[in-house]
Amino acid sequence: MSGENQEAQEDELLALSSIYSEDEFKRSDTAPGGEIQVCLELPPNFKISVKSNSTANAIVETFENTVFFLPPIVLNFELPPGYPSTACPIFTLSCKWLSQKQLTLLCQRLDDLWVENRGCVVLFAWMQFLKEETLEYLKIKSPFEIQLQNIRTHTLMQRDQEKSSYGIDSPVEGAIDRRAVQDVESVSVLIKHILDFNENQQKKSFNSKPFLCNICFSEKLGSGCTYFKDCSHVYCNSCLKDYFEIQIRDGQVHALNCPEPKCTSVATPPQVKELVGEQLFSRYDHLLLKSSLDLMTDVVYCPRPSCQTPVMQEPGCTMGICTSCRHAFCTLCRMTYHGVSPCKVTAEKLLKLRDEYMIADENGKKFLEKRYGKRVLQKAVEELGSMEWLEQNSKPCPRCGTYIQKIDGCNKMTCTGCNQYFCWLCMNMLSRANPYHHFNDPSSECFNSLFLGVVVEQDFFEDED
């Protein structure tokens, strides 16, 4: 290697190292050369599709998606001793989503660039071409169908760089360049790699950009923010952490959505876990599972307070058996299983049950009668109806509790049950010796109220002349 070539190679490799990051350019440690990874700038809403032919049943499956990033085109190169004065870099060009035919066209274009710039370093020109002109050169537009080819179905070009004055052979038309490699094992592997790369690059791009949080109105890098995929809203992690922690502690696990007013986007479990930590996430996970089970009509819970294990309810069966504590219970009233006997109703529930029965339709009434017994419900309706009438139209004796109805007369009442005198206005018991003293005593709250509220009807007669 001449001193001039060696110096030019070293200067070019140093320049590439200073211009590009390690993700884009890696220099070889063993020989003059390295690896260049070129990620193309895709137009907005770039759609791709991959077709998979199933030879077993002749079914064609198509995968379609919109991507912002595609896996890079990889240029591996080695600089021969005669580069750049007389020899072209030795290289291979590989990619997962470009076909071998498309990569062959790119290899030929790199050869042409070397011819046009012979005697000069060419790696930077190659990188610029691959990054800025690949899509236009290959006439790639959205939607783009990725073509999968088997290299064994093509004729490999045999190149002998010693026979060419510039280290390049004339291409054989229709042949596949052996330097062109479609680096993919299968359709499923290709799809997974494309989706993973697109997601990772989106996250990397998001982390490096500043965003304004509409809660604290501070501008922070995406690495300190959370992105809601469905609505594209962004909030800082500090504000979302406080917001989510309050919701989880209050048991509102279905409210872990985007704080934007009227927005229905929901945070994913990994996002919640990253923000609130393991302990609160465990509570969130438990409450979320419980709320999901509550929506299932065939799931009930063991009524024992110390257990509360979810139990699957058999269709048409009112007996539940807890798989944890083996407790047998009625799935209707949650009491110990009572067979065909009606469910027992507590006094506190009787009034609510009566109201539920009164407003129910025919099918609802039949269900309640089957569950609690028709006689129980009829008795509840009659007794509670009577109780309501008594409460509205009578008062209980302050001594024995007998309900007394006042039809007319003064406010001194006599209980029909125990003959106790009492005041209808204040419901205080009156002296048996002088019951009217209560109404004549100026210190009494019912002073001069013996006939208060009494409607007196009088007949008026005109004097006859």
Please state, in angstroms and rounded to a whole number, the distance separating the CA atoms of residues 229 and 249. Answer: 25
C-alpha to C-alpha distance for 206 and 226, rounded to whole angstroms: 10
Q: What is the dihedral of CA 431, 436, 439, 445, to 10 degrees?
A: 10
Q: In 10 A of CB 214, how many CB atoms?
A: 14
155: which DSSP letter?
P
Nearest-Å Rg of the Cα atoms of the chain is 44
Helices 374-393 + 347-359 axis angle, to 10: 100
| Lookup result for tokens 């064994």 | 152
- Which structure tokens are listed for 59? 């079914």
- Six-digit token string for 381: 């309706």
Give CA–CA dist 232/408, Å, rounded: 75
Q: What angle do CA 459, 461, 465 make, to 5 degrees?
A: 175
Q: DSSP letter for 421, please.
A: E
Q: Of the candidates 272, 266, 269, which has an alpha carbon nearest to the alpha carbon of residue 231?
A: 266
Q: What is the DSSP string of 230-272?
A: TT--EEEHHHHHHHHHHHHHTT-GGG-B-SSTT---B--HHHH
For the question of residue 225 being annotated catalytic, the response is no
CA 242 to chain centre: 18
Catalytic residue among 39, 120, 410, 418: 410
- State the catalytic residues: 410
